Structure formats: C-alpha cells, structure tokens
Amino acid sequence: MKFFVDSADVAAIAELNDLGMVDGVTTNPSIILKSGRDIMEVTKEICSIVSGPVSAEVVSLTADEMIAEGRKLAEIAPNITVKVPLTWDGLKACKVLSGEGKMVNVTLCFSVNQALVAAKAGATFISPFIGRLDDINLDGLELISDIRQVYDNYGFETQILAASIRTANHVTQCALIGADVMTAPPAVIKGLASHVLTDKGLDQFVKDWAKTGQKIL
C-alpha cells in the first residue's frame, strides 16, 4: 500500500520522504490555510521534494472553472494531481482533465455509487473519507471494502485512496482490505512505529545494559 502524506508542512514531508515513507502528498484548502502559505508556492516546493503524485485541489464549484483551475494547477509540476470534488460538475471536470492526460483525484467520496461514477469518469484516484463516516456512526472501512469489490468486479483502474484516516487501526484495516493508497497526517504515519510493548521492552534493555557497566562507543 502506498503512503501519501496529508499535509502542506514541508519540513514534516521532507522528514518522512527521507525515510522512504512518502509515495505522494495530498492537500486541500483547509491544509493550505493551516500552512499559512500561497498555494502555488507551497505546492511547487512540495513537488520539488516528492517525486510521486501531489494533489492540489480546485476551489470553484462549476465545471468550467474547475477545468481552468485544474489546468493552472497542473502547470506547477509534472507530478501534480488535480483534486476535484465528487459532484456532477466535478465529474465533468474529471472527464475533461483526465482526457488531457492529467492525473485526477476525486475527493469527498462517501458511497459506492459515487466511487463507481468517478471511475467511469476517468478518475486516477478516488478518495473515500473513513473518519468522517465514522463520525456519523457509519462504517468507513466497510465503504473501502465495498469499493474494492466493485472495482475488482469490473476491472476499474482507478486507485482507492483511503482518506480521513485518524488511527493506526484505520491503516491496518485499509492494508488488509486492499486499498491502493492511504493518506494520513504526519503524526499518524509516525505513530505506526509505536507500540506499548516496544517501549516497555526497550526500557528494560536500557536498564539491564546500564547494569553491565559496558559501553559500545
């Protein structure tokens, strides 16, 4: 499963990239706001660090405006993925932009039917939001599983990009289900290395080593 970083924090992205933990990056208007930087500037910097797809989201609501914004964003770098919302206008934009050879990430997916029409419109990625479904007492992971089955049934090449991931369990289950990609904030990705028994075992090793009175360096 590919790891995308859901962030515009350049330092955090670079740290994870140096460890081989970054296959791509996703951003959205809220993330850009949090960064406090110009969208074109920060996205260009991210693209210079990461060789994989970098999602930059349009902000208009009509198809023609989305297409124009998507073309502008795609000029930033060859690895830009234009991110559009899962609306009828968003699907129109997806069809045009993907037809021009641009990668398109269709976001804010909450149903199998939405994922189905996005695939038919030529989406490179579909982004189902796990955490937001969990927030309203629906099973976000079940949606990932259902989309996986439907895509496999018909050979759709659209990649499932599991989004709104908030816990390590979300990552585990998405990997078991067969999501192609997961995107998560840097803190969630770094947290995947943590386990209480690892911490406990390391603490014991440190104490026992101190008792030996030895040094390696």
State the amino acid at position 82 in one-letter form.
V
pTM: 0.95
> In angstroms, rounded to a whole number, what is the distance separating the alpha carbons of residues 80 and 118?
19
Give pLDDT tens digits for 177-195. Answer: 999 999 999 999 999 999 9
Of residues 2, 44, 83, 215, which has the active-site annotation? Answer: 83
83 among known catalytic residues: yes
The percentage of the chain sitting over the pLDDT mark of 90, rounded to a whole number, equals: 100
Q: Which residues of the chain have pLDDT under 50?
A: none
Give pLDDT tens digits for 142-169. Answer: 999 999 999 999 999 999 999 999 999 9
Domain 2-212: state its class: alpha beta
∠ CA 132-127-149, rounded to 5°:
100
